[in-house]
């Protein structure tokens, strides 16, 4: 990966590769999940601290067989062990369940048919089509290298078999490693029949070993999510220009334009329209909302029939009631914007409690920070704040209050009062317009 970050912590759809694998395993409701770690163990453990994982340290990286051997002492004798890989994030729970079901009395292997098997272990079968061993690329003959069925590495086996066969696995190969698939030949020698099942697709078992494969897996994951949304009735302008890095739920008649990114937990109501190049992070959007181009919403709650953007930024703690509007080049933070209120352009609204039917003129700023503390601005129902006004918190504008354009408000404005705070205009007749200095 050419990175200081452990490979399994590189992300697909906003989650580490390993987290995708653990989540797939959890669907099977296992007795326990053991993760064998080596390089970057502390980083890996910290990144998945919220998961019920039993961590196993492999001090020396001596191959897959050696890795599994480190974990086996902590596994119940009667268990079926499913071996997964932290860099194979698209593996499906249905595939894993089928494989585990085949491992009742002998090991079972997940295989895949691939167009280019270079570098992968080949599946060797006898004349009856029964799997008898796996031969690694570097140890394979020329004829074996032409085989298109490969070992995915994903394996299920009775714990008792692993306890018996793993100590017998040797490292007499070109890699000098202990290969987990070598237990298959040992099981065959012991008279057992190896079962196998084939992965749903080649990409399901694609392991990530470089940035190219990471990108390939990312795009496949995003394509699957987009296609699922389409089947649920969501309109998507281009499935190749949509990224979901978390969870997204949509109501009916939702339209999503190009280059939209969803992060965290996002919920969209019925009839929501999202313009191009928007980012939504942990946002709830009500019915009938329009989010226009180039808008960025984070930890916000948008009520029904609201309008946001274009070029709006809603920071954490923004709540918009029914029919409210936040327009172009407006930034909000930790503010409640009442029903039908409008902040249409070029304004900053922070730490503000805004009532219903309020109109905020262009260029208005709530000055909520004095360099040490944050203070609140309260604006009553039906108030009007003229353009280019500065509201210095803490300050309150009463119901129906009116602030003249260009005012700096530092004191409370009562109900239905007009506040004007600006320098008196002076017009000078006969003044001389400046002329260019010619240097003479």
The percentage of residues in the chain with a pLDDT greater than 90, rounded to a whole number, is: 91
**Tokens linked to 229:** 């949304």
223: part of which helix (H) or strand (E)?
Answer: helix 211-231
Least confident interval from 23-27, 79-83, 436-440? 436-440
The percentage of residues in the chain with a pLDDT greater than 70, rounded to a whole number, is: 100
Please tell me the predicted confidence (pLDDT) of residue 440.
60
Q: How far is CA 384 from the centre of its chain?
A: 41
Please tell me the predicted confidence (pLDDT) of residue 291.
98
Average confidence score pLDDT of the chain = 95
Q: How far is CA 424 from the centre of its chain?
A: 54
- Cα–Cα distance, 297 to 361 (Å, whole number): 22
Please tell me the predicted confidence (pLDDT) of residue 173.
81
Please tell me the predicted confidence (pLDDT) of residue 433.
87
- The 10s digit of each residue's pLDDT in 50-69 is 999 999 999 998 999 999 99
Residues facing 37 on adjacent strands:
57
Q: Which is the catalytic residue, given 66, 292, 296, 345?
A: 345
Q: What is the four-CA torsion angle of 256, 258, 261, 266, rounded to 10 degrees?
A: 0
Over 90: is that where the pLDDT of 34 sits?
A: yes
Residues of the chain with CATH 3.90.550.10: 7-205
Closest CA to 318 of 350, 270, 271: 350
Over 80: is that where the pLDDT of 419 sits?
A: yes
User: 211-419: what CATH class?
Assistant: mainly beta
The answer to whether the pTM exceeds 0.75 is yes
The CATH number of 7-205 is 3.90.550.10
Over 90: is that where the pLDDT of 266 sits?
A: yes
Residues facing 249 on adjacent strands:
267
How sure is the predictor about 435, in pLDDT bands with cuts at 50, 70 and 90?
A: confident
**Tokens linked to 209:** 């070993």
Over 80: is that where the pLDDT of 439 sits?
A: no
Over 90: is that where the pLDDT of 85 sits?
A: yes
- The 10s digit of each residue's pLDDT in 297-314 is 999 999 999 999 999 999
| Residue 359 to residues 89, 352, 408, Cα–Cα distance (Å) | 50, 14, 17
The number of residues in the chain equals 440
**Is position 20 annotated as part of the catalytic site?**
no
Please tell me the predicted confidence (pLDDT) of residue 423.
87
- The 10s digit of each residue's pLDDT in 108-166 is 999 999 999 998 999 999 999 999 999 989 899 999 999 999 999 999 999 999 999 99
Residues of the chain with CATH 2.160.10.10: 211-419
How sure is the predictor about 434, in pLDDT bands with cuts at 50, 70 and 90?
A: confident
Q: What is the four-CA torsion angle of 240, 244, 249, 254, rounded to 10 degrees?
A: -40
């Amino acid at each position: 990966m050419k990175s200081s970050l452990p490979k399994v912590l590189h992300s697909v759809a906003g989650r580490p590769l390993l987290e995708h694998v653990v989540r797939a395993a959890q669907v099977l409701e296992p007795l326990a999940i053991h993760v064998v770690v080596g390089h970057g163990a502390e980083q890996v453990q910290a990144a998945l601290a919220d998961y019920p994982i039993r961590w196993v340290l492999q001090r020396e990286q001596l191959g897959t067989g050696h890795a599994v051997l480190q974990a086996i002492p902590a596994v119940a004798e009667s268990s079926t062990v499913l071996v997964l890989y932290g860099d194979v994030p698209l593996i499906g729970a249905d595939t894993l369940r089928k494989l585990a079901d085949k491992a009742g009395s002998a090991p079972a292997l997940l295989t895949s048919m691939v167009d280019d098997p270079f570098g992968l272990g080949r599946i060797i079968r006898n004349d009856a089509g029964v799997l008898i061993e796996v031969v690694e690329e570097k140890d394979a003959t020329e004829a074996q290298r032409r085989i298109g069925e490969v070992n995915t590495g994903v394996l299920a086996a009775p714990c008792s078999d692993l306890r018996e066969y793993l100590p017998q696995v040797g490292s007499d190969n070109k890699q000098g490693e202990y290969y987990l698939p070598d237990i298959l030949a040992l099981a065959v020698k012991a008279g057992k029949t190896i079962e196998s099942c084939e992965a749903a697709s080649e990409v399901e078992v694609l392991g990530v070993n470089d940035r190219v494969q990471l990108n390939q897996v990312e795009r496949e994951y995003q394509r699957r999510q987009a296609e699922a949304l389409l089947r649920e009735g969501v309109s998507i302008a281009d499935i190749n220009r949509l990224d979901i890095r978390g969870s997204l739920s949509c109501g009916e008649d939702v339209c999503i334009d190009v280059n939209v990114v969803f992060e965290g937990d996002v919920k969209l109501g019925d009839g929501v329209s999202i313009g191009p190049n928007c980012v939504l992070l942990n946002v709830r959007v009500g019915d009938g909302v329009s989010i226009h181009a180039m808008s960025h919403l984070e930890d916000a709650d948008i009520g029904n029939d609201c309008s946001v953007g274009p070029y709006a930024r809603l920071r954490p703690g923004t709540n918009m009631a029914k029919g409210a509007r936040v327009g172009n080049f407006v930034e909000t933070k930790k503010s409640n914007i009442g029903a039908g209120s409008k902040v249409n352009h070029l304004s900053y609204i922070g730490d503000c409690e805004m009532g219903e039917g309020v109109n905020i003129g262009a260029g208005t700023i709530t000055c909520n920070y004095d360099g040490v503390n944050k203070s609140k601005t309260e604006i009553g129902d039906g108030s009007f704040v003229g353009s280019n006004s500065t509201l210095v918190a803490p300050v309150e504008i009463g119901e129906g209050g009116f602030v003249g354009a260009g005012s700096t408000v530092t004191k409370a404005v009562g109900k239905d009062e007009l506040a004007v705070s600006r320098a008196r205009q002076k017009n000078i007749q006969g003044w001389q317009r400046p002329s260019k200095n010619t240097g003479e």
